[in-house]
Structure 1
Amino acid sequence: MHPQFGQLMAEATALTRAGDLPAAMAAITAALNGSPVAAERVQEAPGHNVIDVVARVVEEAVAPPVARPATAPQGERFLTGHYAHHAGKRDYRLFIPATRHDKPRALVLMLHGCTQSPDDFARGTRMNALGAEHNTLVLYPAQTRHANSQGCWNWFKHNHQGRNRGEPALLADMTRHIAESHGVDPGHIYVAGLSAGGAMAAILATTHPDVFAAAGVHSGLPAGAARDLPGALAAMQGQAGSGLAGTAKSEVRMIVFHGDADATVHPSNGERVVAAHGGTAVSVEEQHGLQHGNRTCTRRLHKDAQGQVVTEQWRLHGAGHAWSGGDPSGSYTDARGPDASAEMMRFFLQT
């Protein structure tokens, strides 16, 4: 995101109310893509072109040294790879736990937020340590600055919201290929993301329920919340837009985290994500005043007729736009807790 994200979004709101949509769109573009605010320069960010190549995986190799790289615990591997698909191509980082069994127990796809990188996201979420503990692969694809100048997944574009094209097709096929290559049971593949990554995780849960058995959305938005930049602004402010949010339903199990002091993505989006999932829920168990670390939370368990949790919702009181319980060495983290990574892994792996 742009360093003056909040100010630019406030300006865009005022301009929209004043009826100056070109200037408002310029401010939105600057906020989301980091570009200068100039109405004549407003255009859809790159990323809609399709590269027509055969899907393939480039041989993995240990990543070259980078500043403050994410690390793997002793005996584990954290590799760099590249995946090409008809919908595009992306680099990725892949955590592989030490060999303790014939094959990994599961795979978790982790989608970073705007301005983040796989290494940054791995550090901030500490998901590699959980992967080592639970014998689970963790896959971190990297958004390119060509597709989005601020490294955001393009959740708000109509051409990245369907099953057979754009980023959902690319990410799902990448995940499926990695899982097959490492012998992961196809019934134990999961996805989680933060902010724009959380919004894309919600899209994948809707477009590819045959690939992802469960999803985690942290500070994100529901699938189809917007189809363009003005819609993105409205959705992030908590206004139900004209997108697909009312019809993009999914039965994929979901765990949702959202701070009730989030000034970037309005907390009501957490409620909308929950509403779009777990349609088989017939009862809700609400737990108030939970103390996790230095933060109070409310947790809601949405259960089906058999008493199984289909959607788990965490409302983090006083929390902003950051990964809960994250490592301060990563960006957009809130160390006060609860530990969203641990809770997501628990939710994913429970039967």
Structure 2
Amino acid sequence: MRNISDTIARLSAMRSRPVGSGQGRDDHLADMTGFGSNPGALRARFYLPKNLPKEAPLIVVLHGCTQTAAGYNDGSGWSELAAEQGFSVLFPEQQRANNANLCFNWFVSGDISRDSGEALSIRQMIEAAVVTHGLDRKRIFITGLSAGGAMAAAMLAAYPEVFAGGAIIAGLAYGSASTIPEAFDRMRGHGGPSRAELQRLLRAASPHKGPWPRISIWQGTADTTVVPANADALLAQWHGVHSLGDRPTRTEKVDGQTRKVWSDGKGRDVVETYTIARMGHGTPLKTSGEDGLGRAAPFMLDIGISSTRHIAGFWELTKPEVRRKAKAEAAAGAALQPFAQKEKPRAVRVDPTPQPSKARGSAGGITKIIEDALRAAGLMR
């Protein structure tokens, strides 16, 4: 275990890092308020494309340390892809009062356990978004980078019945640390639960017995912040619930990088890993070309492969013909162009001041629907 002086030094180094991408750029996310008791005291940001299809999917995106929701969105291009392919995106955002480095508290038991702390806040956001906008409960997914990736792993463990899939980028296995010194040790690949214990922790995190979410794991081979051993731990943790063998079903090259895939007994791809050669700590991007998304920034690394687009593809949310149509309409000036809007996006307020009208679509009616749904799900008293 690291001594306290080493821990303090590492925390100081993290504070000195630049804030994530998008600082000073236009913020294209709306605020989402009144989504529940919010015990984790998180902020909720939301992106809702124009002309969203009925029962559209929902992607939950968790930023890394020192980053903001808007910054991570600007770098990763999730809302850009949402406008292109027709889904909504929820961005929980950490507050400095909770963590000085804006890290989600993935190593604090009270914040990663089912129905408590930050985990419950995110779950309440999801429920409010689904009820308010009529989203598809069978197509809810979650992804994150670094501490956000570790928190995504925690959400997948605590609420596996909520998610159809998850993607963890440079993250850590659920339950691998319970203190700050342990967190730094695990990040560096020191110690940690055994394979059997990791699998036990995942199964014990909720009463769920299956089916389990599909998992995508991304890791750079040159990452010295969250070393590759953590990707191995994540893979071992999820192998258990999916009853997979150590040997992948297939190994292939995608955009020059190594992808391994494990399929279940029905031939469905349920776990994949991407090993990005010579990449350090961050989210892999491809920002140029027909399929380019996002922009490079600290911890947002333009290395020629778009994790955003490939993750959405693994979740079966992207259709190439939709992208071609969007490109053609853009050339004709008729496409959805959310980033060209000059006006600020409207706030997505699910708990506004009640209005006199009792019509189904009134603000008061929406508030009651949200609260009733949260109580029915056991997410609010």
Shorter-chain-normalised TM-score: which range? 0.7 to 0.9
Whether contact under 8 Å (1:116, 1:331) holds in the other structure is no
Aligned residue for 1:287? Answer: 251
For residues 100 and 28 of structure 1, do their structure 2 counterparts lie closer, same or farther at Cα, with a shift above 3 Å needed?
closer
Aligned residue for 1:203? Answer: 154
Deviation per CA, 1:113-166, whole angstroms, max 9, x where unpaired? 001011101110001111112210011111000000110000112222210211
Structure 2 CA distance for aligned equivalents of residues 197 and 320 of structure 1:
16
Report the count of equivalent residues. Answer: 293
Aligned residue for 2:342? Answer: none
Whether contact under 8 Å (1:260, 1:267) holds in the other structure is yes
Deviation per CA, 1:143-195, whole angstroms, max 9, x where unpaired? 00000011000011222221021111111121121112110121111100000
Whether contact under 8 Å (1:34, 1:150) holds in the other structure is no
- Does residue 333 (structure 1) correspond to residue 333 (structure 2)? The answer is no
- Distance apart, 1:328 and its partner CA: 3.4
Give the unaligned 5+ runs of structure 2.
18-22, 204-211, 287-293, 319-381
TM-score (norm 1): 0.77
For residues 299 and 249 of structure 1, do their structure 2 counterparts lie closer, same or farther at Cα, with a shift above 3 Å needed?
same
**Equivalent position SS for 2:151:** helix
Could you say which structure has the higher helix fraction?
Answer: 2
Structure 2 CA distance for aligned equivalents of residues 317 and 194 of structure 1:
18
- Does residue 303 (structure 1) correspond to residue 258 (structure 2)? The answer is no
Aligned residue for 1:178? Answer: 129
Q: Which has the larger radius of gyration?
A: 2
Could you say which structure has the higher strand fraction?
Answer: 1
TM-score (norm 2): 0.71
AA aligned opposite 1:284: P
Aligned-residue RMSD, C-alpha? 2.4
- Does residue 215 (structure 1) correspond to residue 166 (structure 2)? The answer is yes
Structure 2 CA distance for aligned equivalents of residues 325 and 199 of structure 1:
20
- Does residue 27 (structure 1) correspond to residue 12 (structure 2)? The answer is no
Structure 2 CA distance for aligned equivalents of residues 350 and 131 of structure 1:
10
- Does residue 323 (structure 1) correspond to residue 286 (structure 2)? The answer is no
* Aligned pairs for 1:1-351 within 5 A: 16=2, 21-32=3-14, 67-71=24-28, 78-82=29-33, 83-99=35-51, 101=53, 103-242=54-193, 245-249=198-202, 251-278=212-239, 279-282=242-245, 284-288=248-252, 290=253, 292=255, 296-325=256-285, 327-349=294-316
For residues 28 and 67 of structure 1, do their structure 2 counterparts lie closer, same or farther at Cα, with a shift above 3 Å needed?
closer
Whether contact under 8 Å (2:44, 2:125) holds in the other structure is no
Give the unaligned 5+ runs of structure 1.
1-12, 36-65, 72-77
- Distance apart, 1:26 and its partner CA: 2.3
Whether contact under 8 Å (1:28, 1:229) holds in the other structure is no
**Equivalent position SS for 2:249:** strand
Structure 2 CA distance for aligned equivalents of residues 121 and 310 of structure 1:
26
For residues 84 and 30 of structure 1, do their structure 2 counterparts lie closer, same or farther at Cα, with a shift above 3 Å needed?
farther
